[in-house]
C-alpha cells in the first residue's frame, strides 16, 4: 500500500480572497423635515481585499469628495447630508457600490425627498362664497399641501380653536379631505369653514369658502366613476361612498355573490367600509346602495388583492466553483403581479457582458464551463409595482490546493479514558477529502491533511442528486423545464449517465419527439395534455445511482359548459342553468353569458352578464319582442373556453321597456327651445309603430302639459320667453302599448344678448406695466343666458412724454366664470389709457361699461442700442452711442463706466481725458 501525504502545519493562517458583501445600508425614503440636523446614507461592506466605495445619484456617478458640505466616514462608504438651505439640490435616488478586484456588490436604492417651503407654512386662501339652493348637494375642497402624507385632516370653524363637529348622516369628510353635503340646510350657512391639516411638527390651516344658502332622488357623489382598487395583502381596505339626495339617503354595503368578509366595519354613518389585515378572500366586487323615498342609486367597486415580491426559494448568496464546472444561480420570487426578474453583474446589466457561456432562463442563470473571469458579484432584482427585492450572489471560480484555515485545539490527559477534541477546517477548490493522522513531534500536536491511495482500493464519493427536479404547473403550448443537478466523484465524471423517465417509461426511447436534454436539464416544448405526469431523473455510474421525481401539471382553458336549460320564463326575464365541464387544473373563476337574436343582428353574439365560477345558473333581464338564444363561456386563470352549444330559443312579448335618454334642451335663438334625445335602438322597439310623446311646460307653473306625438327624435318649441326654465319628459309608445312613466328633466329656452354693463369699474396701477381691474357683477336678470364671463378692453390714448395722441389700438382679456377682478399685464410706461368691461353669455357680448382713464408711471429706459469706441490715443479714446429707442419717461442722463482687470469704475472718477460725442 502506497500512502501519499500532504502535510500542512496548523500554526499558519492562510488568507483567502473574498468577494464584497454589503453588511449595513440605508434603504427606503428619507423625508427632509426642517427640524432634522442631517440625513444619513449608510453603506458598509466586508471583503478581501478591503472594498472601496462609490455612489450614484439618479443613475449618475456622485463623487462625495467634490462636495465640501458632505460629512464622509472614510472607513466606510457612509456619508451625511447636512440640513442647510441648499439641501434641495440633494433630492434624488442614491445607490452604493462596494468593489474589490473580484467584483462589485450594490446596495438597495434609497431616496431623499425634500418638500418645498410652501408645504411648511400656514397660509389662507381668499375665496369666493359658494351659493346653492337649499336641498342641493355641495362640496368644499380641502386640497392639503402635497409631498408629506398628513397625520390628520379635519374641518373646523375659523373662530374656534377646537375641532368643530361637522360630520353626521348628511355631512361627511371624504378620505381626500373634502367636505361633502348630501343636501344643504339653512343652518349650514357659515363664513368661517377651515380645513385643518396636522403634519409631524407642522400645522397648516386652509381657509375655505363661506357657504351661503338659497326633495331629490339619491345619486353618488364619491366616487364619481367606476372604481378598481389594487391593495396589498395585509393592508387596510377603505371603500368610500358619499351620496347626495333629499331626504338624506341611507347607505347599504353588499359584496356581490357572497357575504361581507369578517373584520368588516361600517363607519362614518355608513359611508365608509373598512377591512383590516386583508387576505385573498377580500378580493371581489362590492356595491354601495343609496336609498331614500324617491328611489335609489348604486356604485360598484372591484377590489384586487396583490402582494409585493417575496422569495419563493431563498437564493444562495455565496458559491465556490472549480474552473470548468457549470454554475447555477437561482432567483425565484412570488408576488402579485408576478415579479419581473432583472440580472446584473457587478452592478451593471448582464447584457453589458456578452458571453457565449451565459444562459439566462427567466429566474436563473447558468454559467457553462465557468472560467476564472466569471468570478463576480451577481445581482438579482425581483420587482413589481409594490416593491423590489435585491440579492447579491458571490461567485468565486478558482482551482486551489487545500489550505487549513484554523488551528487544531488539542486536549488530552495522562489518564486513560480522556477524549481528544480536534478541529480542522479546510479551504480548497474542488472540495478536498479530509482524513486524520495523529502523531506527536517533540510533545507538539499537529494536524495533517492526508490523501490515501492504496493498491487495488480507491476511496470515492457517492453519486447523488443535489438539486432535484421540482413539481410544476405549466400552460398547454408553453415550454416546461426540469432540472436535475448531480455530484459524483471526479474519477467517475466521464461515465456519469443522466436518464429521464415519464410514468416509469424511458423518455428518449419512447417519447423522443418534443423532448430535449442538456446536462441534467429536461425541456418539454409545446406542452400538451399528454405531457402531464410523473417525471423521474435517474443518475448512475458503474458503481451506484440516485433518483428524484417531480410531477408536471398541465394547465389549460376550461372545456365549454354543457346541458344549457331555461326556467322561470317571464315577460322580461328568464333563468339560464348549465353544467361546468373540466377546468384543466385551474379553477373556473367566472362564467360569461352571451345572447343572440335572429331579427335585428342575427348570428352576432353579445355579452349580457358575468357570474362567479361557483354559480351554475343566472337570472337574465331581457328586452321585449326579441327571439333570444344563449350560450356560456367558462373562464379560469389561463383564459376563456370555447362557447357552449346554444340554448333553445325564447321570444319575449312586445311593448317598449324604456324611454329615450340623453335628453338635450338648448336655445340656439331667442324665443325658441330646441329639444333632442337619443332614440331607442331597433332592438328596443319591441314591436312595430314606435313613436315618442314629448311633453313640456314652464317650471314652477301649475299648468297643463303641452304634448306632441312624433317619430323623429327632435323638436323646436317656438315663441318662448327669453331664457326661462322648462320641464320636459319623453315617453316611448308602440302598437302594443306605452313604456313606463318617464323621468322629468329641466332646461332653458333661448338666450339673448345681456342688457347691462358691469358697474363700479375701478383700476389700481401696480407698476409701470401692470394693472388690477375690479367691477360689480351684472344682475342675473340682465344676463339673459348662461354666464360665460367678462371681457376687459383697454387702449393707449397718448404718451405722457410728448403728449402726442395715439391711434386707438384695442387689446382685450377674457375672464371666464363669475369673477369680478383680474390683472392686466403688458402696459407701456408713462402713458395714458382708457379701459372698459363687458359681460358675455353664449349668445354674445353685452354693452361696455363707461370708459375709465388712468396713467402709468415712468419706467426704466431701454439700453442704448449702439456703443462704439473710436479715436484711440495714448491716454484717451472717444465713446459714441445712440439714445434708447424707448426712454419710458424723461431721460436725465447717462452713466458711463469702464473696467480694467476685475475692477469696474465710473468714468466720472477717471482723470484721463475723455471725448464724448452723441449721435
Q: Examine the pLDDT at 168 and tell me if it is beyond 90.
A: no
Q: What is the pLDDT of residues 769-812, one digit of tens each?
A: 999 999 999 998 899 999 999 999 999 999 888 877 777 789 99
- Give me the pLDDT at residue 107, please: 93
Q: How many whole angstroms separate alpha carbon 334 and alpha carbon 688? A: 60
Q: Which superfamily is assigned to 464-555 in CATH?
A: Immunoglobulins (2.60.40.10)
Poorest-pLDDT segment among 430-434, 863-867, 904-908: 904-908
Poorest-pLDDT segment among 200-209, 233-242, 555-564, 728-737: 200-209
Q: How many whole angstroms separate alpha carbon 251 and alpha carbon 339? A: 39
CATH architecture label of 314-401: Sandwich (2.60)
- Give me the pLDDT at residue 176, please: 76
Give, in words, the CATH class of 562-651.
mainly beta
Poorest-pLDDT segment among 416-425, 434-443, 448-457, 565-574: 448-457
Residue 642 and residue 560 in contact, taking contact as beta carbons nearer than 8 Å: yes
Q: Do the domains 138-306 and 562-651 sit in the same CATH topology, yes or no? A: yes
- Give me the pLDDT at residue 687, please: 82
More confident residue, 918 or 57: 57
Mean pLDDT value across the chain: 83
Predicted TM-score (pTM) above 0.85: no
- Give me the pLDDT at residue 748, please: 93
- Residue 856 backbone dihedrals phi, psi, to 5 degrees: -100, 145
Q: Examine the pLDDT at 849 and tell me if it is beyond 90.
A: yes
Q: What is the pLDDT of residues 681-697, one digit of tens each?
A: 887 888 889 999 999 99
- Give me the pLDDT at residue 126, please: 55
- Give me the pLDDT at residue 572, please: 87
> pLDDT over 70 for what percent of the chain?
84
Segment 428-435 shows an average pLDDT of 71
Segment 723-735 shows an average pLDDT of 93
Q: How many whole angstroms separate alpha carbon 198 and alpha carbon 213? A: 30
List CB contacts of 75: < 8 A, sequence separation 6 or more. none
Q: In the chain, helix, strand, coil percent, each to 5?
A: 5, 50, 45
| CATH no. for 138-306 | 2.60.40.10
512: pLDDT confidence band, cut at 50, 70 and 90? low
- Give me the pLDDT at residue 899, please: 81
More confident residue, 900 or 848: 848
Task: Count CA within 13 A, CB hemisphere, residue 228.
Answer: 2
Q: Examine the pLDDT at 314 and tell me if it is beyond 80.
A: no
Q: How many whole angstroms separate alpha carbon 902 and alpha carbon 807? A: 49
Residue 562 CB neighbours (<10 A): 12
- Give me the pLDDT at residue 147, please: 54
- Residue 129 backbone dihedrals phi, psi, to 5 degrees: -65, 150
Which range has highest mean pLDDT (139-143, 401-405, 409-413, 873-877)?
873-877
Q: Which superfamily is assigned to 664-748 in CATH?
A: Immunoglobulins (2.60.40.10)
List the beta strands (DSSP E) in 191-331. Answer: 193-199, 202-207, 211-213, 219-222, 227-232, 237-240, 242-244, 250-255, 264-267, 272-275, 284-292, 295-313, 318-321, 327-330
Q: What is the pLDDT of residues 87-140, one digit of tens each?
A: 889 999 999 999 999 999 999 999 998 876 544 444 445 566 777 766 778 888
- The answer as to CATH 2.60.40.10 being correct for domain 18-113 is yes
The domain locations on the chain are 18-113, 138-306, 314-401, 464-555, 562-651, 664-748, 759-856, 866-918
Among 3.30.465.10, 2.60.40.10, 3.30.365.10, 3.40.50.720, name the CATH number for the domain at 759-856: 2.60.40.10
Segment 422-439 shows an average pLDDT of 64
Q: How many whole angstroms separate alpha carbon 245 and alpha carbon 215? A: 7
Q: What is the pLDDT of residues 477-496, one digit of tens each?
A: 899 999 999 988 887 888 88
- Give me the pLDDT at residue 423, please: 55
Amino acid at each position: 500500500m502506497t500512502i501519499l501525504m500532504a502535510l500542512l502545519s496548523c500554526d499558519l493562517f492562510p488568507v483567502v480572497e473574498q468577494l464584497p458583501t454589503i453588511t449595513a445600508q440605508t434603504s427606503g425614503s428619507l423625508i427632509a423635515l426642517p427640524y432634522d440636523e442631517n440625513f444619513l446614507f449608510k453603506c458598509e461592506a466586508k471583503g478581501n481585499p478591503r472594498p472601496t466605495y462609490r455612489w450614484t445619484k439618479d443613475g449618475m456617478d456622485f463623487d462625495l469628495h467634490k462636495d465640501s458640505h458632505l460629512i464622509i466616514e472614510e472607513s466606510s462608504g457612509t456619508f451625511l447630508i447636512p440640513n442647510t438651505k441648499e439641501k434641495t439640490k440633494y433630492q434624488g435616488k442614491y445607490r452604493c457600490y462596494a468593489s474589490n478586484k473580484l467584483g462589485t456588490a450594490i446596495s438597495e436604492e434609497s431616496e431623499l425627498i425634500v418638500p418645498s417651503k410652501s408645504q411648511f407654512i400656514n397660509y389662507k386662501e381668499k375665496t369666493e362664497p359658494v351659493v346653492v339652493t337649499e336641498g342641493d348637494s355641495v362640496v368644499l375642497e380641502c386640497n392639503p399641501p402635497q409631498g408629506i402624507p398628513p397625520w390628520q385632516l379635519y374641518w373646523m370653524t375659523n373662530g374656534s380653536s377646537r375641532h368643530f363637529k361637522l360630520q353626521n348622516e348628511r355631512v361627511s369628510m371624504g378620505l381626500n379631505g373634502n367636505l361633502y353635503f348630501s343636501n344643504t340646510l339653512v343652518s349650514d350657512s357659515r363664513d368661517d369653514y377651515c380645513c385643518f391639516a396636522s403634519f409631524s411638527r407642522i400645522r397648516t390651516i386652509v381657509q375655505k369658502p363661506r357657504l351661503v344658502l338659497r326633495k331629490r332622488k339619491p345619486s353618488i357623489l364619491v366616487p364619481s366613476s367606476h372604481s378598481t382598487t389594487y391593495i396589498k395583502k395585509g393592508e387596510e381596505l377603505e371603500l368610500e361612498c358619499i351620496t347626495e339626495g333629499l331626504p338624506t339617503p341611507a347607505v347599504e354595503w353588499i359584496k356581490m355573490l357572497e357575504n361581507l368578509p369578517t373584520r368588516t366595519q361600517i363607519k362614518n354613518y355608513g359611508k365608509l367600509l373598512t377591512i383590516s389585515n386583508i387576505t385573498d378572500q377580500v378580493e371581489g366586487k362590492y356595491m354601495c346602495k343609496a336609498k331614500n323615498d324617491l328611489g335609489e342609486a348604486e356604485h360598484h367597486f372591484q377590489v384586487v388583492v396583490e402582494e409585493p415580491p417575496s422569495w419563493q426559494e431563498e437564493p444562495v448568496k455565496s458559491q465556490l466553483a472549480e474552473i470548468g464546472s457549470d454554475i447555477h444561480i437561482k432567483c425565484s420570487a412570488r408576488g402579485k403581479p408576478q415579479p419581473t426578474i432583472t440580472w446584473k453583474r457587478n452592478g451593471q446589466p448582464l447584457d453589458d457582458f456578452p458571453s457565449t457561456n451565459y444562459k439566462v432562463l427567466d429566474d436563473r442563470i447558468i454559467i457553462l464551463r465557468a472560467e476564472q473571469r466569471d468570478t463576480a458579484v451577481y445581482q438579482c432584482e425581483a420587482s413589481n409595482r409594490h416593491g423590489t427585492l435585491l440579492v447579491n450572489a458571490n461567485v468565486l471560480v478558482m482551482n486551489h490546493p487545500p489550505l487549513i484555515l484554523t488551528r487544531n485545539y488539542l486536549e488530552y490527559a495522562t489518564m486513560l479514558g480522556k477524549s481528544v477534541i480536534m478541529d480542522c477546517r479546510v479551504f480548497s477548490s474542488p472540495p478536498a477529502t479530509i482524513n486524520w493522522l495523529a502523531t506527536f513531534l517533540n510533545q507538539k500536536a499537529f494536524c495533517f491533511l492526508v490523501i490515501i491511495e492504496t493498491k487495488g482500493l480507491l476511496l470515492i464519493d457517492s453519486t447523488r442528486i443535489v438539486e432535484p427536479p421540482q413539481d410544476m404547473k405549466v400552460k398547454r403550448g408553453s415550454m416546461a423545464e426540469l432540472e436535475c443537478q448531480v455530484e459524483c466523484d471526479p474519477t467517475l465524471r466521464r461515465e456519469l449517465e443522466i436518464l429521464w423517465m415519464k410514468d416509469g417509461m424511458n423518455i428518449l426511447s419512447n417519447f423522443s419527439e418534443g423532448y430535449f436534454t442538456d446536462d441534467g436539464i429536461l425541456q418539454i416544448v409545446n406542452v400538451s395534455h399528454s405531457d402531464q405526469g410523473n417525471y423521474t431523473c435517474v443518475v448512475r455510474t458503474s458503481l451506484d445511482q440516485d433518483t428524484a421525481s417531480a410531477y408536471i401539471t398541465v394547465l389549460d382553458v376550461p372545456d365549454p359548459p354543457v346541458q344549457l336549460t331555461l326556467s322561470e320564463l317571464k315577460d322580461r326575464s328568464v333563468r339560464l342553468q348549465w353544467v361546468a365541464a373540466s377546468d384543466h387544473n385551474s379553477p373556473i373563476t367566472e362564467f360569461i353569458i352571451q345572447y343572440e337574436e335572429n331579427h335585428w343582428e342575427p348570428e352576432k353574439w353579445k355579452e349580457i352578464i358575468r357570474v362567479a365560477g361557483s354559480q351554475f345558473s343566472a337570472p337574465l333581464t331581457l328586452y321585449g319582442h326579441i327571439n333570444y338564444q344563449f350560450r356560456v363561456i367558462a373562464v379560469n386563470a389561463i383564459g376563456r373556453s370555447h362557447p357552449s352549444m346554444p340554448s333553445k330559443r325564447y321570444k319575449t312579448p312586445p311593448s317598449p321597456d324604456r324611454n329615450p335618454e340623453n335628453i338635450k334642451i338648448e336655445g340656439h335663438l331667442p324665443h325658441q327651445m330646441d329639444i333632442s334625445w337619443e332614440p331607442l335602438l331597433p332592438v328596443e322597439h319591441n314591436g312595430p309603430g314606435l313613436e315618442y310623446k314629448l311633453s313640456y311646460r314652464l317650471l314652477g307653473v301649475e299648468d297643463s302639459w303641452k304634448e306632441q306625438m312624433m317619430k323623429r327624435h327632435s323638436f323646436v318649441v317656438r315663441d318662448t320667453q327669453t331664457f326661462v326654465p322648462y320641464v320636459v319628459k319623453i315617453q316611448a309608445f308602440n302598437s302594443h302599448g306605452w313604456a313606463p312613466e318617464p323621468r322629468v328633466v329641466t332646461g332653458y329656452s333661448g338666450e339673448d344678448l345681456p342688457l347691462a354693463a358691469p358697474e363700479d369699474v375701478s383700476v389700481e396701477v401696480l407698476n409701470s406695466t401692470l394693472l388690477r381691474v375690479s367691477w360689480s357683477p351684472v344682475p342675473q336678470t340682465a344676463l339673459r343666458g348662461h354666464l360665460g364671463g367678462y371681457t376687459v378692453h383697454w387702449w393707449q390714448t397718448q404718451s405722457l412724454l410728448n403728449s402726442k395722441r395715439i391711434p386707438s389700438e384695442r387689446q382685450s382679456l377674457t375672464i371666464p366664470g363669475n369673477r369680478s377682478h383680474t390683472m392686466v399685464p403688458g402696459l407701456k410706461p408713462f402713458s395714458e389709457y382708457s379701459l372698459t368691461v363687458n359681460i358675455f353669455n353664449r349668445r354674445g357680448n353685452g354693452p361696455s361699461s363707461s370708459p375709465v382713464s388712468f396713467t402709468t408711471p415712468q419706467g426704466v429706459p431701454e439700453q442704448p442700442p449702439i456703443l462704439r469706441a473710436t479715436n484711440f490715443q495714448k491716454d484717451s479714446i472717444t465713446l459714441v452711442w445712440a439714445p434708447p429707442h424707448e426712454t419710458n419717461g424723461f431721460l436725465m442722463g447717462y452713466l458711463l463706466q469702464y473696467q480694467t482687470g476685475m475692477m469696474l469704475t465710473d468714468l466720472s472718477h477717471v482723470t484721463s481725458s475723455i471725448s464724448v460725442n452723441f449721435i
